[in-house]
Structure formats: C-alpha cells, structure tokens
Chain A
Amino acid sequence: MLRSGLDVLGGRMLWKRGILSIAFWAALAQVACSVEIVDQAGRKVSIESAPRRIVALAPSIAECLFALGLDEEIVGVTEYTNFPPQALSKPKVGSYIHLQIEAIVGLKPDLIVATMEGNPKSQVEQMERLGLKVVVTNPRTLDDLYETLLILGKILRRESTAEHLIENMRGAIRTLSGLVASRPKPRVLLQVGSNPMVVAGDETLQDHLIKVAGGENIGASQGRGYIPLSLERAITLAPEVVLISSMADSLTAERVKESWKRWPQIPAVAGGRIHVIDGDLIDRPSPRIVEGLKSMTKMIHPEISSLIEDSLGEMGDRS
C-alpha cells in the first residue's frame, strides 16, 4: 500500500506529508499532555507536564496534597503545617500570611498551590511576575473542597485518587446527615478567638460544618465572616452548645472554657455543654475535615454519639 502510494504520488511529496503528519501528531500528543484548568480564583492555568516539585502555601493545602499521595513531590510547606507527620520534615517557606518569596524561588518549584483566603494577593502576583506557576484554591464549603481536590487531582495526574477520596468523604457526610436529619437543631456558638471573643459568623467554613452537623449556628445571625462578639451579646444569644476551637495551644482553650463557667444563666453552661474542639480539624479545608465534622456532630448530638461511632468507626483508620 505504502509502496504503491509512493509510486503514484512521487516519493518526495509523500515524504514531506509524512513529516508534516508526524509533527502534527507530536503536537497533538503535546497538547494532550498539557492540562488546562480554571482555578478557583477564575484564572486559566495550563500545566505542561506532571509537576514534580510542589510548594503548598497553607497547612490545609499540604494536607490535601499528602492525601493525594504526593509525599515525594511536595518540596515546601508553610509554618504550622503539622499533618501528616512527614510534613514536619519539609522545608518551610514562611507563614501562609507572610510568605518568604526568596525561599520559595530557591526550592525551584514547578507548581505552587496558593489559597485565596490567607495568602496575600500581592505576593501571589509577585510570584507570577517571577515566572512561577501558581494555582489558586478557594475552598469555603465542602463542595468547594471537592472541587479543589478534583482540580489538584487533574493537574497532578491523580484523578482517580481524588475521586476515590471525594467519594469516601461524601459517603461519611451523607451518613452523618442521615443520622441528624430528624433531630432538633441545638443553638451552637463556635468561638475561634478570645480577648476579644471572636465567633464564626455566616459564610464561614465552620458555619457550614455546624449546619451539616445538625446544629444552628447562632453566630450567623451576627453577620458574615469572623465576628468580634461582646460578652453581653454572647449571653443574650443563649447558646445551648459552645464549641471552642483550640487555637494556638490547648491550655488557652481550656482557660477560655473555664471562663464561660462564670455565666451559669447560659443554657450551654448550665447543661455542661462547653467543648474544646481541635481547631486543625475544623479550620482547615482538607480531607481531615470529615474527622472534625464527626467530633463536632458528637458534641452537638451527644445522645447519638455511639451510633455515630458505629456508623463511621472505620473512618479514623483511613485518614
């Protein structure tokens, strides 16, 4: 066939065509290899080949990347990145809110994963000016988090791991929602800071979690974001459950818990329903949030805590 074609069209011409078509297929292969995505800041990012040196600009992002099995590829993390344990030995590039650009450049990353809430915009822009590839994530709800994981899975060629991870998370959350669906919703106040008291308001990740865990976030009635709340207002809001996110150290959280006990007129104090919850598990949009959600649900609905444990018992082992 080829032989006769050569005879008919003349050797040189077909030769030329052959070269052209090889170039065409090669180009196509190249295109297929590069991945183009729209990140969660709405920016188009194209990634030529699977990144091999990744810097994670927040503890939550590092957790996501480790969960996708990228232990080797992560070359830099930010301060306070404390999970999983192998993250502790990775080089630090400053705190997520004030990055050391020089340290990041020095790691020669081929991908930087940033977070819109936290990383300063000016520093992200500076890194792009320096020719670094930055993908911006913005997980504010569980659905956003699934999207974050899918995007990262796609760029990093871990799509099936990401899908599996998301399926597990969805399953656990579906189970939790089912368990609390028909229960009354206690009035929950989630405190994220003390002196002044700061609580989780509307449109925060924690607000979202409280709703999923079958509670009513009374902080949401006070406005959007994280809201400084006067003690007087906290008392009049009459929370039935107070959750204290363990911030810097557990000692402070315990002291904050003690200080609530001065106000026995608050239902939560009277009922002894003031709990310290691991801040890392509810502040960080990462797969570990399912664990945080599980302990939050047990705190809001202690009457079904053994049921929750039975239904989700194996969850702790997986993550």
Chain B
Amino acid sequence: MNSLKKVPAVTGSFVLVCCILGAAAVAVTILVAICIGPTPLSPGKMISWIIGGEVPDPTERTILMEIRLPRVLLTGLVGALLSVCGAVLQALLMNPLAEPFVLGISSGAALGALSSMVLGVGLWSIGTSTAAFLGAVGTVVLVLALAGERGRVNMTRLLLTGVIVNAFFTSMIMLLVSLSRTEQLHSVLFWLYGDLSGARYDQIWLMGASCMGGLVVFFAHARALNLMGLGEQVAEQLGVEVQRSRTLLIAMTSLLTALAVSSSGLIGFVGLIVPHLMRMALGADHRVLIPTSALGGAIFLIIADALARTIVSPSEVPVGVITAALGAPFFILLLRAGGNT
C-alpha cells in the first residue's frame, strides 16, 4: 500500500531516458529471441541477416519471417498489454494484488473460449479468439453492473464482485472440462496456460495499434493516477474527475486485456510482477511506470516464451508455466532484498 502512495517527482528527461533504454532492451530481446528455436540456424547467418542481409535459404526465411518473428512480436505485445494493464489496475483499485485478471476477465475469457472449443458446433462456432474476447468483455460488464451503485463505482465492492464472479465462472469452466472429450482436453489445457504458437501478422497489426492507443490514454492519465493514489477526495480537490477517469481506465484495461487473452490464452503473473518490479526499480510515478511496465512486460514474456519453446524441444510447454516458475522466485527474492519498499 505504502509503495502506491509515495510519489517522488521525476523529470521529463528521466522519463525519456527510461523509455529509450527500455525500447533498446526490447529490440535486443526480440533479436535474440528470433535466433532461438528448435531448428538450429547458424549464428553467422543470423548476424548477417540482422545487419540487413538476405537469408538465402527459403526455408530459413520462412522460419524466421513467418514463424518466429510474428510469434515474438505477438508475445511482446501481449506481455506489454498485460503488464501495463496490471500497473494501471493496481493504482486504480489501490491494491498491490491487482492484476489484469482481477475483475474476472480470465475466467470470462476462458469460459468463452472453452464453450467454443467444447460446445462449438454449427452456429456457435465463432472461433476461439472471438469467443474469448466476448466472454471477457461480457464478464467485465457484468461485474461493473453488479458492483455499481447509482453510477458510482466503489472500488472495494468492485474487487469483491470480481473475485466472486471469477469463482463462479471457474466452476463453470470445470463443468465444461469434465464434459469435454478426451481429444479436446489437450488443446483446452494448453489454451488455459497460454499458447502463442499460432501468431499471424493481421493479429499483430490489431494488437500493435491497440497497444499504442492504450498507452497514449494511460500516459495521459498518469498524473490523475498519481493523485488518485493519495485518496479519492485529495484527487478531486486537486482537480481530477475521479469517477470519469476510473470508468474510462477500467473500460480501457478491460478491452486491452480481453484482446491480449483472446490471442494468447491465459498468461498469468506478467501483469502482477512486472509493474511491481518497475515500481521497486524506478519509483511509483506513473509517467515512468506506464511506459516502462509495457516495455518490461514485453521483455519478460518474450524471454519466458523463448524458454517455453526450447526447454523441452521438440515439444513445447505452456508459457504460463514459465512465467510463474520464473516470476515467483524472482519476485520473492526482490521483495526480501527490497525490504519495506
């Protein structure tokens, strides 16, 4: 709690430096990640390709440009979206445990996706991503409607409603899993723990544009978020339209999370730990926190996915397994080292 309230002032140039360094780190991570994969490609070729040369072999070009690059880009965008949404929600709900799935989005999306996988016949076969997106958005609308009171949203009530709706939908998910046929179970499980393997460029354009749009909106509200951390009344006295900003930001984070979930399945931990790491390292000012959370989330998820693709090659483990396995110990370590931050 304390960490959310302390807002040390930062200068514009500090924000700029953080962004530039972060963007450079993302670029390096992307380049390293496309060099890694089950098919060995010679490092010499990779270097010449990175410098700008052509990859002569059509097979290697396909692997690089049509399989690895779209996957790495999609992974980066999903990581950025989840992480930045986590940062914003932690501030909005004034709760360090908040993450993008806290309002029931994960179970809503999963329920949508599983319905399309398990019951998906005829009219209902609208595709897993669309079903997940609709499920996610529907759930948030439901949670907001249940928690709202005369147009105002009480944050504690919102949080509790989210938890309860989540629990209810999780039981529905288990019902669907128990009804599903054996041969469907595998893909259902993979989806539940995050699957980035089917990346396509059209997805990436959509995600990229949404990510940029979201970042602009969030960054524009950075000062409001800082002030809201001081309490609703203080923020209002200082000229923040608290209710309006909250509604807009909750809607925005929900849409972006739904989008991320619909293209990648459920990837936990990114939205929780990356914002905390950034807050520990760079302070709680949202002008820094928002861009660096996005960049950090991209780096973290790209690394996790590179591991998911390679550690049990030629098979793959769900990326959610890696994010939790990597994130949990690392986070505990930092928490202990950081003491009371």
Using CB atoms and an 8 Å cutoff, list the residues of chain A in contact with chain B.
Answer: 79, 91-95, 97-98, 100-103, 105-106, 108, 117-118, 120, 122-123, 126, 129-131, 192-193, 198, 225-226, 228
Are B187 and A97 in touch, CB under 8 angstroms?
yes
Q: Which residues of B contact A225 (CB under 8 A)?
A: 181
A100/B183 contact (C-beta < 8 A), A93-B314, A105-B62 known: no
Question: Top 3 A-B pairs ranked by shortest CB distance?
Answer: A106-B39, A97-B186, A103-B38
Cα distance A94–B310 in the bound complex, in angstroms: 12
- Give the interface segment out of B63-71, B142-150, B153-161, B212-220: B63-71
Are A103 and B314 in touch, CB under 8 angstroms?
yes
Q: Could you tell me the distance in whole angstroms from the C-beta of A109 to the nearest C-beta in chain B?
A: 10
Are A130 and B315 in touch, CB under 8 angstroms?
no
A-B contact count (CB 8 A): 65
Are A198 and B198 in touch, CB under 8 angstroms?
no
Cα distance A92–B38 in the bound complex, in angstroms: 11
Are B314 and A92 in touch, CB under 8 angstroms?
yes
Are A117 and B38 in touch, CB under 8 angstroms?
no
Q: Which residues of B contact A91 (CB under 8 A)?
A: 314
In addition to A92-B314, A94-B316, A102-B68, 4 A-B residue pairs with Cβ atoms within 8 Å of each other are A97-B187, A102-B38, A130-B66, A130-B67
**Contact partner of B198 among A92, A95, A122, CB < 8 A?**
A122
Using CB atoms and an 8 Å cutoff, list the residues of chain B in contact with chain A.
Answer: 37-39, 59, 62-63, 66-68, 178, 181-183, 186-187, 190, 197-198, 313-316
Q: Which residues of B contact A93 (CB under 8 A)?
A: 314
Are B67 and A98 in touch, CB under 8 angstroms?
no
Are B59 and A98 in touch, CB under 8 angstroms?
no
Q: Which residues of A contact B38 (CB under 8 A)?
A: 100, 102-103, 106
**Contact partner of A100 among B178, B187, B198, B315, CB < 8 A?**
B315
Q: Majority SS of interface residues in chain B?
A: helix
Are B315 and A117 in touch, CB under 8 angstroms?
no
Q: Could you tell me the distance in whole angstroms from the C-beta of B309 to the nearest C-beta in chain A?
A: 8
**Contact partner of B186 among A98, A117, A123, A126, CB < 8 A?**
A98
**Contact partner of B187 among A102, A120, A129, CB < 8 A?**
A120
Q: Which residues of A contact B183 (CB under 8 A)?
A: 97, 117-118, 226
Q: Could you tell me the distance in whole angstroms from the C-beta of A71 to the nearest C-beta in chain B?
A: 21
**Contact partner of A198 among B182, B190, B313, CB < 8 A?**
B182
Are A102 and B316 in touch, CB under 8 angstroms?
no
Q: Could you tell me the distance in whole angstroms from the C-beta of A297 to the nearest C-beta in chain B?
A: 26
Q: Which residues of A contact B315 (CB under 8 A)?
A: 79, 94-95, 98, 100
24 A–B pairs (Cβ distance < 8 Å), ordered by A: A91-B314, A93-B314, A97-B186, A97-B187, A98-B187, A98-B190, A100-B314, A101-B67, A101-B197, A102-B39, A102-B67, A102-B68, A103-B39, A105-B59, A105-B62, A105-B66, A106-B38, A122-B198, A123-B198, A126-B198, A129-B66, A130-B62, A193-B182, A226-B181
Q: Could you tell me the distance in whole angstroms from the C-beta of B195 to the nearest C-beta in chain A?
A: 9
Cα distance A91–B315 in the bound complex, in angstroms: 12
**Contact partner of B37 among A102, A130, A192, A193, CB < 8 A?**
A102
Q: Could you tell me the distance in whole angstroms from the C-beta of B197 to the nearest C-beta in chain A?
A: 7
Q: Could you tell me the distance in whole angstroms from the C-beta of A278 to the nearest C-beta in chain B?
A: 19
Cα distance A133–B48 in the bound complex, in angstroms: 30
Q: Which residues of B contact A226 (CB under 8 A)?
A: 181-183
Q: Which residues of A contact B190 (CB under 8 A)?
A: 98
Cα distance A67–B92 in the bound complex, in angstroms: 64
**Contact partner of A108 among B59, B198, B314, CB < 8 A?**
B59
Q: Which residues of B contact A193 (CB under 8 A)?
A: 182
Q: Residue on A with the closest CB to B315?
A: A94
**Contact partner of A98 among B178, B182, B316, CB < 8 A?**
B316
Cα distance A93–B37 in the bound complex, in angstroms: 13
Q: Which residues of B contact A95 (CB under 8 A)?
A: 315
Q: Could you tell me the distance in whole angstroms from the C-beta of B293 to the nearest C-beta in chain A?
A: 30
Cα distance A46–B102 in the bound complex, in angstroms: 51
Cα distance A130–B199 in the bound complex, in angstroms: 12
Q: Which residues of B contact A100 (CB under 8 A)?
A: 38, 313-316
Q: Residue on B with the closest CB to A79?
A: B315
Q: Which residues of B contact A108 (CB under 8 A)?
A: 59
Cα distance A48–B181 in the bound complex, in angstroms: 38
Q: Which of A94, A95, A226 has the most CB of B within 10 A?
A: A94
Cα distance A46–B341 in the bound complex, in angstroms: 66
Cα distance A95–B315 in the bound complex, in angstroms: 7
Q: Which residues of A contact B63 (CB under 8 A)?
A: 102, 105-106
